Structure 1
Amino acid sequence: MATDEYIEDVFVVNRWILRCAGLWFPDSKSKLIQIPYKIYAVVVFLFVNVYFTSTEFLSLFYTYKNLYDFIKNVNFFLTHFMGAVKVTFWFFKGHVLRRLMATLESPEFHYEGCEDFAPAEIWAKYRKIGFKYTLGFLMLAHMTLSSSYLPPLITATFSPPPYGNGSASPFYHRLPYFSWMPFTHLTPGAYLLALGYQAGPMFSYAYSIVGMDTLFMNIMNFIAAHLTILQGAFMTNKSRVEGGEEDALVVRTRMNHEMKKNCRHLQTVLSVCEDLENVHRFLTLGQATATLFILCTCLYLISTTPADSKQFYAEMVYMVAMGFQLYLYCWFGNEVTLQASEMPTYIWKADWFDCDHSFKKNMIFTMTRMKKPIYMTVGKFAPLTLQTFVTVSVLTCGTSAIRELFQIIKTSYSIFAVIKNTSI
């Protein structure tokens, strides 16, 4: 029986996005590639994550008297500050994530297909899911930036407002959002330069944020893939080791060997879960807290913006992007929990009736271990699941999900009401 061909390099899209952000060095050993990339990475880190993030914080002091601009600047600052935190996190803890990626991509625990068990197809399915959500989030990030920067860019390029006699149209006074500038932008040329000065770091933030978030997402995605493959591996243990007219003792010996391999595989996957949880939980807490605040304040900004204005659609796209960011965390965290919770059922479905004591003991130990839920958490405060985010969670988790959903809606509305009242 031929071994199924697993697709290699399942994190290829994540690597390319991080490479665009200056966080993943090219594979080539050529100095003509390595040296320019190192210069690019240093410039991006110093200019975008250090200098520009600092100027965004400084901008808060210029806008605190205007509630709309102040809230918008706080939202952008929180988003980009979390991006800078993720870049810093990568420099200190990136080696842990790279090790986890290598473990998940390792061919050590590849299986042969049998009957309805097709591990290579499962692997390809999860790879496709990872690609779809990664590219979808990247596209949404581009839509968010384009909705803010394309309209003024098109206007300033093809239909520039009049400028003359030392006076400028009000158009040149405002950028997509207020930020401290080292130069004035009251002329058409200076305005286009200011747009580029502001948009450049925005796209850099987008790639670092999308790269780091989708990497975390995809690691959880392939943890779920391994758990799904393990379900089939446990269930088809006997079918995969039988080869014809072997003696029953030979079959039992092979089944014991296969069971031990499955248990080692499961222990490796659980170790990956634990390491990912330990290294990422506080970053997840920071992102979830920032996103909840941003979603609430975006609701306020949308409520105070005319529905037919460009700003309204820009705010809507931004709010959708932030919601989708948190959705990715919850969806794939929920997948890990769900696949782990179903493991005992698949172990029980194995043809174990005529197996020896050693096989049955390993079964019982493994099933007992998997009764303890596997969760990715938000800083150990709450499990990272889909209970409060999608309708399907109501079907899988029961009425508690509805109560939690209404509690979050109530909390969000309370924050929104407080902000709304301050503007009266």
Structure 2
Amino acid sequence: MITEFLERLEDPERYLLGPNMWVMTWMGLILPENIFFKVAYIFVHELVTFFVISQYMEIYVVRSDLDQVIENVKVSLLSIIGVIKSNAFLFGQNRWKKVLEYVTEADEYERVHKDKIRGEIIDRYTKYCRRVTYFFWVLLFVTFVTVISTPLLTFLSSRNFREGFHNGSEPFPHIYSSWMPFNKNRSPGSWITVMWHTFMCAYGCTLMAAYDTSVIVIMSFFGGKLDLLRERAKLMLGSPGNGISDDEADASMQYLHHDHILLLKQSRLFNSLLSPVMFLYVTLCSLNLCAVAFQLTSATSSTQKLFLAVYLLFGIAQLFIYCWQSNDVLVKSEQLMLGPYESEWWAANAKQRKRVLILAGQFRIKHVFTAGPFTSLTLSTFITILKGAYSYYTLLRK
């Protein structure tokens, strides 16, 4: 059943981005042409934004309770990250479509003109994209189940809480802490709030799944494209022992120049869309990891510790995959300049060697994705964020 569902997500016209385009279209990140559905999707997106604002309103209301504030901050930080991602995608809709169209067209071209070696590269990054996409979907589903079931398990696992709830000393256990225009601790307001929170949690997790997996797949394609360019550069002067004419060499190197410039243009456009979001994400993620770690060490219930551990794992895994994939693109861009020197340049004439040097110089330009103007998305940045989160945690502990 699951296999059949995943197979239906494949799109022969968008082979690499098939599942990602499906979920982005279904969730309204890619707005439809129909004006009614477009307005409806925008309304739902901004409804989620209003819900996040209501969470911060509640933080102000309970500001005297430190434990409750930390709990609310932990959840609301994750919520605002999702809202920032979805709204940034909507505001940059046309530019995002250009990047998606480039990835689709470039991937299709590579599949049509592949040989054995390039075919292995294409198969490798395609399988990787599928594994990452489905892993993220599963991870977010587990996070969704964890979040909505936490209040119920808290109620069932704590006898003191149950007794306090029945005698009125404990409030109704809600999924989120957010402001509501009615009494959310008594029926029917309590159950309306539960349904509202469940819908918001499901929609928010799906939005994050759509955005995150699409970004990772695009990053993975850029890395794969750099590998493909390197392989083409190896053969730009012909196969070993078989030289080519100056005209053939010029045509081959002109194609590599053009393909690399187009890749640079699209990767920079992609980075201009991603960088502001990642700057806020990195900042908020550090605070979120700190809050979860603080709650994990101060929690007394084993059930609560388990759910906090799952929450912490989700935050670390999400941040790591961004930094890992961006770092992979950076490493491959640094290795790209080796391609021309792995060709038959030593057997070429002076004119062809001069063009090889020009091409190698162009290939030295690095592809690096950033988190704002302050830092690059690399593994060293990931380690720095973990260190910063630990520093915030020790400060809270004192």
Asked whether 1:347 is paired with 2:340, we answer yes
Residue by residue over 1:7-62, the C-alpha shift from the partner in whole angstroms, topping out at 9 and shown as x without a partner, is 84311222222234222246xx8xxxx5774364144123222x212211111112
Aligned residue runs from structure 1 range 106-255, under 5 A:
106-107=105-106, 110=110, 112-114=113-115, 117-150=116-149, 152=151, 173-186=172-185, 191-239=190-238, 251-255=245-249
Asked whether 1:275 is paired with 2:273, we answer no
Cα distance change of structure 1 residues 46 and 101 upon mapping to structure 2, 3 Å threshold: closer
SS in 1 for 2:344: coil
Match of 1:297 in 2: 291
Which structure 2 segments of 5+ residues have no match? 1-11, 157-161
Asked whether 1:414 is paired with 2:376, we answer no
Aligned match for 2:20, one of 14, 20, 35: 14
Cα distance change of structure 1 residues 83 and 113 upon mapping to structure 2, 3 Å threshold: closer
Which structure 1 segments of 5+ residues have no match? 1-5, 158-162, 390-404
Aligned residue runs from structure 1 range 40-119, under 5 A:
40-49=40-49, 51-107=50-106, 110=110, 112-114=113-115, 117-119=116-118
Residue 307 of structure 1: CA displacement? 5.0
Identical amino acids, percent of aligned pairs: 19
User: Is 1:69–1:177's contact at 8 Å kept on the other side of the alignment?
Assistant: no
Residue by residue over 1:135-186, the C-alpha shift from the partner in whole angstroms, topping out at 9 and shown as x without a partner, is 21222111112012236568999xxxxx9xx966777612133222333344
Match of 2:254 in 1: 260
User: Is 1:256–1:358's contact at 8 Å kept on the other side of the alignment?
Assistant: no
Q: Aligned letter for 1:44? A: V
Match of 2:4 in 1: none
Cα distance change of structure 1 residues 303 and 267 upon mapping to structure 2, 3 Å threshold: same
Residue 289 of structure 1: CA displacement? 0.6
Aligned residue runs from structure 1 range 247-396, under 5 A:
251-308=245-302, 310-387=303-380, 389=382
Residue 193 of structure 1: CA displacement? 3.4
Cα distance change of structure 1 residues 271 and 371 upon mapping to structure 2, 3 Å threshold: same
Match of 2:159 in 1: none
Q: Aligned letter for 1:203? A: A
Cα distance change of structure 1 residues 354 and 7 upon mapping to structure 2, 3 Å threshold: farther
User: Is 1:172–1:191's contact at 8 Å kept on the other side of the alignment?
Assistant: no
Matches of 1:240 and 1:216, distance apart in 2: 36
Residue 189 of structure 1: CA displacement? 6.1
TM-score, length-normalised on structure 2? 0.84
Residue 279 of structure 1: CA displacement? 2.6
Cα distance change of structure 1 residues 92 and 366 upon mapping to structure 2, 3 Å threshold: same
Question: What value does the CA root-mean-square deviation take over the aligned residues?
Answer: 3.2
User: Is 2:73–2:291's contact at 8 Å kept on the other side of the alignment?
Assistant: no
Matches of 1:7 and 1:190, distance apart in 2: 48
User: Is 1:56–1:179's contact at 8 Å kept on the other side of the alignment?
Assistant: yes
Q: Aligned letter for 1:10? A: L
Cα distance change of structure 1 residues 61 and 280 upon mapping to structure 2, 3 Å threshold: same
SS in 2 for 1:353: helix
Residue 81 of structure 1: CA displacement? 1.8
User: Is 1:20–1:207's contact at 8 Å kept on the other side of the alignment?
Assistant: no
User: Is 1:22–1:44's contact at 8 Å kept on the other side of the alignment?
Assistant: no
User: Is 1:232–1:346's contact at 8 Å kept on the other side of the alignment?
Assistant: yes
User: Is 2:340–2:356's contact at 8 Å kept on the other side of the alignment?
Assistant: yes
Matches of 1:171 and 1:9, distance apart in 2: 53
Cα distance change of structure 1 residues 168 and 94 upon mapping to structure 2, 3 Å threshold: farther
Cα distance change of structure 1 residues 44 and 127 upon mapping to structure 2, 3 Å threshold: same
Matches of 2:14 and 2:273, distance apart in 1: 25
Matches of 1:46 and 1:408, distance apart in 2: 30
